[in-house]
Amino acid sequence: MFYYLFEYLDKYYQIPGAGAFKFITFRAGLAIILSLTISLVFGKKLIELLRKKQLAETIRQLGLEGEDVKKGTPTMGGLIIIGATLIPTLLFARLVNVYVVLMIITTIWLGLIGFVDDYIKIFRKNKEGLAGRFKIAGQIGIGLIVGLTLYFHKSVLVRETYSEKEATQEIINTSTQKTTLNGKTIYLKDVKSTTTTIPFFKSHEFDYSKILFFMSDEKAEKYTWLVYVLVVIFIITAVSNGANITDGIDGLAAGSSAIIGSTLALLAFLSGNLIFSDYLNIMYLPNQGELTIFLASFVGASIGFLWYNSFPAQVFMGDTGSLSIGGIIAVIAIILRKELLIPILCGIFLIENLSVILQVGYFKYTKRRFGEGKRILKMSPLHHHFQKSGIAEPKIVSRFWIVGIMLAILTILTFKIR
């Protein structure tokens, strides 16, 4: 909104400073400041309202230290993250950008699913919340929207670069732009593509059409959209559920999300810059630099939420927050064509997910095999295992954050370790 206002003022009235809104870094800086302000100032008022309405989730008795202290803590605090992310985005991002629109839809869509889940837990006193099949249906729904949009929308393109030696006459005639980079003439061409990034490989791009290697090129091209959409659905479902599981102790999900969001913001900025993308040998993605504004808002909102969610928490994010932040991270990674980096970047979410799968799977296997179920961990997810081992909650969270930072650094290094 402000982008268009100041563009108009700069064009017709030449107001000093109005031109600064053309720069993504400037708008991203304003976005993170505003999102922090919203989450800190209005977050306090929302918490007071939630407490007044007695919107507290029932704490399951897991036999963990500190459970009694958490009784009565309001939930649905994810509304703080959602509001503090969307408002700066609406004010500072270019709203005609297809990627920004997709992120707004994703945030609201998964936020609503989480809100319904929290509502059922609180008002209907149902600890299970929204039935799993409805959650999955909602995640599949947003997966379809994201996958089909990214595959078919005419603005979703990859910009390929060709040197003078590589450029054929056809490429020269159809190129989007001719420019000079590092003293060399290059030709740029925007194309539809289903390529993504593979970490640690020199030829680090993979096309989803190769999954259909058993088909002819013509048939593979025809059905690639189906493979792509299924992959998108799986990733969104897995990451949003991973974030949901990680949200088990104060500050863990919010802090981990801030680390992941900061890394994705850096990748968005680099991928949208021709010089940096060429230096790092990563795909140059036109028009997606605007995601930097959305991610700056998301990081600011997550950090601001930590002010109230750090131990001992004054508010829980609930499924309203955890499902939406997981979906945001998944969709951003897919848009940036870095979804295959998710196991590294979102390693905290992955290990939390795997700890539950392994615990349940091993228990069922041993019960069927030996008549008595056995457990790998003292309790799952993994953070509860450490709690049961006598480690203080703040120390567990701090150590998980340290691991998250290490994984974020490793994610960046994958562009040079090939």
DSSP per-residue codes, 21-71: GG-HHHHHHHHHHHHHHIIIIIHHHHHHHHHHTT-BPPPP----TTHHHHT
* Domain enclosing residue 240, as ranges: 26-153+207-343
- Report pLDDT for 131: 86
- Least confident range of 46-60, 197-211, 331-345: 46-60
Q: What is the torsional sign of CA 410, 347, 238, 261?
A: negative
Tell me the average pLDDT across 215-235. 91
- What pLDDT is stored for residue 55 in this prediction? 64
H helices of 58-205, in order, are: 67-70, 78-92, 98-123, 132-152, 169-174
Q: Are residues 264 and 312 in the same domain?
A: yes
Pick the range with the lowest mean pLDDT from 162-171, 226-235, 310-319, 356-365: 162-171
Residues 165 and 85 in one domain: no
Output the pLDDT for position 75: 87
pLDDT at 242 over 70: yes
The answer to whether the CB of 78 falls within 8 A of the CB of 141 is: no
Check if the beta carbon of residue 312 is closer than 8 Å to that of residue 66. yes
187 and 229 in a single domain? The answer is no
Same domain for 167 and 141, yes or no, is: no
Instruction: Please state the rounded mean pLDDT for residues 320-325.
Output: 95
CB 302 within 8 A of CB 118: no
* Rama region for 66: left / alpha / beta (φ>0; ψ in -120 to 50; rest): left
- pLDDT score of 17: 73
283 plus 298 within the same structural domain: yes
Whether residue 312 is contained in a domain is answered as: yes
Whether residues 168 and 64 share a domain: the answer is no
Domain stop point among 290, 321, 343: 343
Give the percent of the chain with pLDDT over 90.
59
Q: Residues 125, 49: one domain?
A: yes
**What domain count does the chain have?**
2
The tokens for 91 are 């004010």
> Which contiguous run of DSSP H or E holds residue 234?
helix 217-246
Q: Are residues 224 and 85 in the same domain?
A: yes
Judged against a pLDDT cut of 60, whether residue 65 lies above it is answered with no
Query: Tell me: the pLDDT tens digits for 33-64?
Result: 999 999 999 999 999 988 887 666 555 555 56
Above 60 in pLDDT, residue 275?
yes
Q: Does residue 378 fall inside a structural domain?
A: no
User: Phi/psi class of residue 103: alpha, beta or left (left: φ > 0; alpha: ψ in -120 to 50)?
Assistant: alpha
Q: Is residue 350 part of a domain?
A: no
Predicted confidence (pLDDT) at residue 374 exceeds the cutoff of 70: yes
Q: What is the mean pLDDT of residues 165-181?
A: 70
- Tokens of residue 142, six digits: 């947003």
Average model confidence (pLDDT) for the chain? 88
Strands 177-181 and 184-191: antiparallel
184, 240: one domain: no
Pair (211, 192) in one structural domain: no
Do both 145 and 167 map to the same domain? Answer: no
| Cα–Cα dist 291/294, whole Å | 5
For residue 346, the model assigns a pLDDT of 96
Interval 392-417 mean pLDDT: 93
Mean pLDDT of 128-149: 93
Last residue of a domain, one of 292, 323, 343: 343
pLDDT higher than threshold 60 for residue 190: yes
With cut-offs at 50, 70 and 90, classify the pLDDT of residue 68. low
Average of per-residue pLDDT across 236-246? 95
In this prediction the pTM is 0.92
| % pLDDT > 70, the chain | 91
What are the distances in angstroms from CA 227 to CA 47, 99, 207, 362? 43, 21, 11, 31
pLDDT value of position 334: 97
What's the CA gap between 244 and 253, in Å, rounded? Answer: 8
Assess whether 197 and 332 both reside in one domain.
no
- Residue 7 falls within a domain, yes or no? no
Maximum Cα–Cα distance for the chain, whole Å?
A: 80
Lowest mean per-residue pLDDT among 22-36, 170-184, 317-331 = 170-184
Residue 175 lies in a domain: yes
Is residue 80 in some structural domain?
yes
Tally of CB atoms within 10 A around 216: 9
Task: Give a yes or no: residue 30 inside a domain.
Answer: yes
Task: Indicate whether 333 pLDDT > 80.
Answer: yes
pLDDT, position 392: 92
Residues contacting residue 310 through CB under 8 Å, at least 6 positions apart: 250, 251, 394
Is 368 part of any domain?
Answer: no
Give the integer Cα–Cα distance in Å for 249 and 325. 16
Identify the weakest region by mean pLDDT among 120-134, 175-189, 292-306.
Answer: 175-189
| Sheet strands side by side (includes 177-181) | 158-163, 184-191, 177-181
